[in-house]
Chain A
């Protein structure tokens, strides 16, 4: 029988250490909404989403009530729209109408984000892919809840450098289109290498074509719980530290597994995966940076940061994998700057820079995330940053991503306020030397030798 100590431990995690389930994301296939008539596509998409997901938010709230655990976000991911709208859309504006439909459907069912305004172009771009990519700036400027992602590379296919070059321009255009709101559009746009099909986290969530018609994926969180747990291991050796993180990750993930099973049962939708990521928020005590500092760094960014993060990420996975039958998505520690108070502080005091963040992304998911850079950064430099991150993902057979915000009208040292879970960020310094000639070569970087496993 349960004892009071166990019950109090769980409730302390929820009440004081900000344990929550970060998101229940319903993946919905829109492949059956394809049509050559644009109005018909829009109509079918709206109808399918609002039918399939009509109970998502209410069931999420019901589960929150039953277990007294906050479920912060209820979200939807859909099939990459470049595939769904391919035969109906003849120009970028046509795709924008689909973005508006997604936004309308998201508002109708009450989810706060809908992901999947995406194109998968790791090897090449179809006409539809390119039209969708070119429509992204407008689509993100005229919608509130639509999130977009583009996969530009993979370990199997190499890196599509034409897409990388284009995405540098698209990121900048998106920033320009949304400059009145501190270029917020870019916070809803992710450029991936090795994008997973079942990621429940925004802005990069989409519902892959290998997935079932409808599925429930759950993202857990809990940096505060890990931080508090390892306070008890202060001064102890790595074995003790790793054991502590592993046990905590197990407990956190079990809650995610429970919520996923309940949601799946009540919505009568199959359970997909649990994403084990440690996802920070700007709230005090909900920070991945603070965990790294508790491990023994004066400030995140100090020498040793990459090793500490590698250790953390690995132990979270080891503990989490045992707690759930199906683990997937991104599953790692997130290191977004604007969404993590410890990261923001480290950047503001000069302890953490873009290059160190890049090194950190070699050992954790996901990549350069929620980083504000000067608005006058050239498109080719943004492409260069995307290419570097993609190369890390391609060579290390892992997911990497870039969600970078060139803030129009702001320069290094100024601060941008995104609000809510997106937080705020100091504008960071970018290396001023050009990679223009590198980016303008065109073509593809071939797949690495270790991708040939057959």
Chain B
């Protein structure tokens, strides 16, 4: 499985999750896990997704999500899972 972590951080507004999820669905990216909180008005979300059947390359998805984030006013970041598992799991 080709797991990727998507983080979304920014000022809370209506429809952040909807827009990101719609984009992912349109591109055949499967969401495995979502956790989300609001801290002092700041939206903070982490998604674990599977890109095995993705219609686009990792780079394209990362760029387009970043662009989508700019439109909503949040920062969206895509990273392969290994950077976190390597650092936090022995």
Contacts and interface: CB of A to CB of B under 8 A. Distances in A.
B33 A7 contact: no
What is the interface of chain A mostly: helix, strand, loop, or mixed?
A: helix
A4 B85 contact: no
A239 interface: no
A2 B5 contact: yes
B40 interface: no
Contacts of A67: 79-80, 82-83
A3 B35 contact: yes
Given A2-B5, A65-B62, A10 B83 contact: yes
A81 to B, nearest CB: 37
B15 interface: no
Contacts of A68: 77-79, 83
Interface residues of A, number: 21
A207 interface: no
Interface residues of B, number: 23
Contacts of A69: 83
Interface in B13-32: none
Given A7-B7, A11-B7, A65-B59, A2 B79 contact: no
Nearest to A11: B7
Interface in B65-79: 77-79
Interface in A174-220: none
B48 A1 contact: yes
Contacts of A7: 5, 7, 46, 84
B58 A11 contact: no
Contacts of B87: 6, 10, 251, 254-255
Interface string A4-15: 101111110000
Interface of A: 1-4, 6-11, 62, 65-69, 251, 254-255, 257-258
9 contacts: A1-B48, A6-B84, A7-B7, A10-B87, A65-B59, A66-B58, A255-B83, A255-B87, A257-B86
